[in-house]
Structure 1
Amino acid sequence: MTTRSSTATKRTPAKRATKTKKATQKVTIKNKSKATKKVAIKNVASKIKPTAIIKRNPLGHLLMEKMMREAGFRGGISSQKKLLDAYSTDESIFSIRPQVVLQPKNRHDVEIATKVIAEQTKRFDSLSLTPRAAGTGLGGGSLTDSIVIDMCAHLNKIGEITEKKDKITFTTEPGAMWRDIEKKLKAHDAYLPPYPASKDICSIGGSIGNNAAGPDSLRHGHCADWVESMDVVLHDGHTYTIKPLTFR
């Protein structure tokens, strides 16, 4: 067993960059003939805004909720402004406001939501279903202008940990937080080697979905290398169990 320790240092707040009054700057370029040429470079970076155009939900919130309930969806369905604003950002620089947020209570809810939305995309191609876990991604992958399905609100249970010889396995739902899994594994004197830097605030589902890695990954591999099997809901609304391929 290896004991790990870490130290923390205080960060000095970085100075904010001041806005330049000029929109262009002149650059002098020298060539072999000793002649010079002035080039104007526009400061386009200052004009870029990390936002996206919002498309309206073609079904409407009430109609969508009716369709979901009739199909048997039991989780939360909301289009309240406060909730939509909360789901419009993650740890990236982007801000995209969804139209509806779904919070499934179990796997059956995920199957229903996936099937209903997949059927409606045949009529409305602007519809999409984007899974979201803890929202700690830096690339904006959990953001959408359509429908968000939150995998953390209720699907966060950690199953029993099984220990056989030198192998430890456990089953978990996608919304379980990495820090909670670590606490349970610690009782067995074990840990998940590909832990990411965001392990204190991220979920296991998002980590596996992004094939996350961390300080120990050079030796022990990424998240995908530690997954024995997964139950995945595909667009037809059915759950499939997938495992690594074995070659004979």
Structure 2
Amino acid sequence: MANYLIVGASSGIGLAVTRELLNQGHKVCGLGRSLEALHLLQQQHKNLFVLSYDIQTLQSQPIIAEAEKHMGPIDVVFLNSGVASGHSLDDWNDAARTVHTNVTGTTEFLINANAYFKQKNSEGVIAVNTSVAGLRGLRQAPVYSASKAYLINLCQSLRSQNKTSAGKVRVVDIRPGFVDTQMAGGTTWMSSTDKAAKQIIAAIHKRKEIVYISKRWILVAGLMRLVPRALYERF
């Protein structure tokens, strides 16, 4: 059994992953801004520890230490916090919220999680919730898709660094398509959060580096890459 730190555990995919991990017998420290759902889950699972955290505060170092104090050495960090705003290039406040959460906050946490595992000389895992939306620019969500493209490249860069420096930290790039959450932007091939959670956990345990949720989105990803730019930009 492993110790998981879930960032953004209070709803959607994060809550479903937390629930599934607990059902499998793992220990979980769930972080979130709204903790009502986590506290309800905590009443049923003694292996769940709950901490209030907003990724925009950029204070991951002390929260990682606090999580370790509650459940012992951390094995997996799942960076799931994100917002689905950034649908307009005419609203800087909307864009800034997306960048500060999806890019700045996630990067700060990832850097400190990687440092934590390196200091422990531990074969830890950092899993990041990116998105199929990050594969190419989306006119319907330009800043959001750009933020997810950044995370995809960040995962690849860190993975490459760790491989070439004999690092032990594994990096898992999780690319959901449409999952039935408040953030979902469509209904095509919609997966339930429970299905997504099972596939995410299985990918981590099977030592996958990139995983699409669900697997049918591998086809979409391939088609997105093949469409010529001139044609793609007319969609």
> TM-score when scaled to structure 1?
0.26
Higher helix share: 2
> TM-score when scaled to structure 2?
0.27
Structure ID, larger Rg: 1
Higher strand share: 1
